[in-house]
Structure 1
């Protein structure tokens, strides 16, 4: 595993470390060892934004990313 250096200036000056880090992270994504939060699409355009906020206020679900389809017209 690639260790994160504590000196950020070192990272800026070491393109080999950056290349190794991104290669490692890319492989973690491919292998499924690194994933994002699950997401739930809320339909309804701007109305759906309000629904998502209500769910957050109620604490209905945790660890879920709400995605609203704002560009849709109903």
Structure 2
């Protein structure tokens, strides 16, 4: 039996364990060229979501240096 738990407000969380493969060259290359909508379909929080803070964006920049993070920047 496969069980997954998450808070109800964590809509972008899922039980698919794609994260186990997230260090492969193929995954990183895909993320670097994917659109926000494509990434959202795979579980990334959408632009404007409160998850996207200065800290999380800095982490994404380190993890995916070729990804254009402009769509996820806060629109203050």
Q: TM-score, normalised by structure 2?
A: 0.26
The structure whose residues are more often strand, as a share, is 1
The structure with the larger Rg is 1
The structure whose residues are more often helix, as a share, is 1
Q: TM-score, normalised by structure 1?
A: 0.27
